[in-house]
Amino acid sequence: MIAFGCGYENRLGADPGKEIVRFNGECALIFLLLAQVITPLKEVTGINLVSLRRMLGLFCFMYACVHFISYVVFLLEFRFSDLITDIVKRPYISVGFTAFIFLIPLAVTSTRWMVSRLGRSWKILHRLVYLVLLLVLLHLVWLTKTDYSSAFAYVLLGLILLLFRAWRWFRKSRVKNV
């Protein structure tokens, strides 16, 4: 019998639920990093892809939702009391859950209507994405148990993007003060 899969055919391993949770979390991280790459790419190459940032951010949120739901369904098997216990006892779950909670207002306020309604406050609110990125990277490092190579690559890329933003902010603030 021929199976037409989407890349995960016979690769879920002994614990398919855990692999599904991991996959969706990694996809959320990739879309978060892609959303952060837009501005540096524009400044370095002149390619303007800013119109894609909202879509990438919403894909990040969607995969974060699926990551969380998969965790509740496949690993906790709907035992919500265990969710509270995990959030309290496991720092990597606390950090990941906090990042997920911070993503909710970013997704809710990403529409054009909310951007115009919030005005300048929208930009301030959406700076939460930098904290979310730090929390997600910490979540990834803390849950990685054996092979740190991909975690290291994600952390390195995330920190480079955050340092670029910090450098850009510092440069702009110096120009204003001169």
**Domain hosting residue 144, numbered range:** 16-169
- C-beta separation of 63 from 27 below 8 A: yes
Nearest Cα neighbor of 66 from 105, 20, 13 is 20
Determine, yes or no, domain membership for 89. yes
Determine, yes or no, domain membership for 176. no
Give the angle 144-39-161 at the CA atoms, nearest 5°.
30
Q: Mind listing the pLDDT tens digit for each residue in 84-116? A: 999 999 999 999 999 999 999 999 999 999 999
Phi, psi of 137, deg, nearest 5? -65, -40
**Considering the entire predicted model, what is its pTM?**
0.90
Q: Mind listing the pLDDT tens digit for each residue in 16-48? A: 999 999 999 999 999 999 999 999 999 999 998
Token pair, residue 157, equals 């890329």
Nearest Cα neighbor of 58 from 25, 35, 39, 26 is 35
Determine, yes or no, domain membership for 102. yes
Token pair, residue 7, equals 């890349």
Determine, yes or no, domain membership for 2. no
Nearest Cα neighbor of 66 from 120, 12, 15, 26 is 26
| Number of domains the chain is built from | 1
Determine, yes or no, domain membership for 177. no
Determine, yes or no, domain membership for 4. no
- E strand or H helix that includes residue 116: helix 112-118
Determine, yes or no, domain membership for 70. yes
Determine, yes or no, domain membership for 75. yes
Looking at residue 111, the DSSP 8-state letter turns out to be S
Q: Mind listing the pLDDT tens digit for each residue in 42-72? A: 999 999 898 899 999 999 999 999 999 999 9
